[in-house]
Chain A
Amino acid sequence: MHSTYKKVLLIFISLSILTLAACGGTKVSRKEVDETIDLSGAWNDTDSRLVSRAMIDDMLDQRWLRKHTQKHRKPPTVIVGRVRNLSHEHINVRTFVSDIERAMINSGEVEFVASSEERGDIRDERKDQDLHASEKTRKAMGQEVGADFMLKGTINTIIDAKKRTQVRYYQVDLTLISLTNNRKVWAGQKKIKKLVEGSNLRY
């Protein structure tokens, strides 16, 4: 009888130690921003980066840019329009759109003007300057640069699911549309396919 109690006590202590060992608290380790870390299979920073890289290379390499620069002797001006998320995930499209914007501005071959969302603040500030800033530093109204092209796009997904396995197919389409005549001068596309296999068991 006594030895049984001892055994039970031993098992209880071992289980307690195991439980305590499992409670290690939060562990943080720093990673390179371009390192691929896939956790749930959902759209993540790697997808955003892959899309923006593919789109930037394609956009800068195409004829529309050379044609426009030769004809007008200045780089084209682009405004970011609506990039619609038609996928099954809540995707932050701003990350890769701003990646594209940044790379294009830094290349010096394309200029961007503030989007409709951004320019509201700028116009408010200009109005404010009109009242409060000195004559020398005040910025006049009506000097904005009109864009030549609008960048629009969509993110679509096709999902095939069975139990806890999913095939996720993402397709990102971006187009540059001439604001003069609605012509589409460039169309870029990037596809990503993932197989997400969830376990049917957990500990």
Chain B
Amino acid sequence: MLFQNYPVVTRRLCLAVLCSIGGGCATYSESFRPLEKEIIAQRPEKALKILEKSPPSGNDRLLYFLDKAMFLRMMGKHSESNQVLQSAKKYIEKFSPTSITEETASFFVNDSTKAFIGAPFEQVLVNFYSALNYLDMGEIDSARVEAQQVDIRLKTLASNEKNPILIANPYARYLTGIIYEDLGEWSNALIAYRKAYQAYKAHQKRYAVRVPRYLKYDLIRLTDYEGLRDERDKYIKEFKINKWDKQSSLKKNGEVVFVMNNGLAPIKRQRTVAHAAIKGQVARISLPYYQKRRNGFSNARISVGNQTATTVEVNDINSIAEKTLAHFLPGITARSIARAIAKHNVARAVGDRDSLAGLAMMVTNYATEVADTRSWLTLPGEIHMARMPLKAGKYTIDLQLRGAGNNVLHTYQFRDVKVKRGAKTYLTYHWVSPRALRSK
């Protein structure tokens, strides 16, 4: 047997060396740190430069598209960001079918040899951010195209994925409703609001996010406008809301829809769960886990003069990411164990014939056994939203981000915001607290 030909000291030394090799093998998420620092310093252009210097390629190409699109968004280059998101969509479409060669390679090397196409919730967010880009540019019809694509993507994912809680993305549904409403498509808006409400109710059972109060008002207002009195009364009773603005009064004014991206999505790390020495051979099993990053504020406020609107959390990406990984983890673990056994058997067979070749194979097997820690790291950890009706005009809107003790953490001013009668104006902001670098 390979290792058993060597003295105990040599064996232990080898084990120590192998462990250090394993620990030293950089995973994708570890290479993200320099970019993180630039995001926190609100320097997306520098982060993009770093990304462009050594862009993820090959099977990681999608990560390049996703991060680049987010940096361009942060820089206010919405059109360029959307071009990159279109490339991301094409990539997902092309690489969604199972690859025979990649599956084979992943069985012998590790899961990172497969093309990264994103988790279901990440795929939906590609359309979501593309829609936000169009809304930022005032191209409502193009945002509607994205809304349609969200619907198709959710339908397709639902037919593929057995656990519907993973793919029902309530806020993506909610935003599509807002887009339809902005276009005056009341029936389509109401359908989207209803679907969002159902998805939020299902979400509430597993996630901390509640049905946003804005959505409750939307449902009452639109069912009232469409003459669906029974449904309206059901919502009034359920939500305990007696006073709401009628559609006719809302149409006389404009409205600011504010989307606040809070912090950064959790980061996947690698945990070596088993170092095993089997018959003189060393093997290990490494699995991914999510590490939450500290998100900055507890609430955000937008204000114009005396009028203030506080945001509500509408999408908890942190928890969705964790639950998604937990759903897929049994499969990942089973594959890792099967791979460890297969690698062990091959190395032993080679080692029986030539102990040096066997040792080389064992070192390779050990070093390549890394967890797949790829994920869309420039996503926020949470998405918050506020809606504020305003009369037509030009405004300066103040943003205040507050911490748990109600202390002001960050302020920003949106200048020359044009609000049109009967239309919505969209404002988005992404803030990452310096505390994000200190993971929870």
Contacts and interface: CB of A to CB of B under 8 A. Distances in A.
Contacts of A201: 97-100
A166 B99 CA distance: 21
A203 B160 contact: no
Contacts of A159: 148, 152
B185 to A, nearest CB: 9
B152 A88 contact: yes
A88 B149 contact: yes
8 contacts: A4-B353, A86-B141, A87-B148, A88-B148, A90-B145, A159-B148, A164-B156, A202-B99
A199 interface: yes
A181 interface: no
Interface in A156-203: 157, 159, 161-164, 166, 198-203
A203 B100 contact: yes
A150 B156 CA distance: 39
Interface string B84-113: 001000000101111111000000000000
A85 B145 contact: yes
A164 B145 contact: no
Interface size class of B (residues with CB under 8 A): 20 to 34
Interface string B353-364: 110000000000
Given A163-B156, A164-B96, A202-B99, 4 more contacts: A88-B148, A90-B142, A159-B148, A199-B97
A198 B93 CA distance: 9
A162 B159 contact: yes
A161 B97 contact: no
A164 B144 contact: no
B251 interface: no
B246 interface: no
A141 to B, nearest CB: 30
Contacts of A123: none
Most B-side CB within 10 Å, residue of A40, A88, A157: A88
Interface in A2-40: 4, 40
Contacts of A166: 152
A58 interface: no
A85 B156 contact: no
B213 interface: no
B93 A40 contact: yes
A156 to B, nearest CB: 10
A84 B155 CA distance: 24
Contact of A89 (B145, B151, B155): B145
A131 interface: no
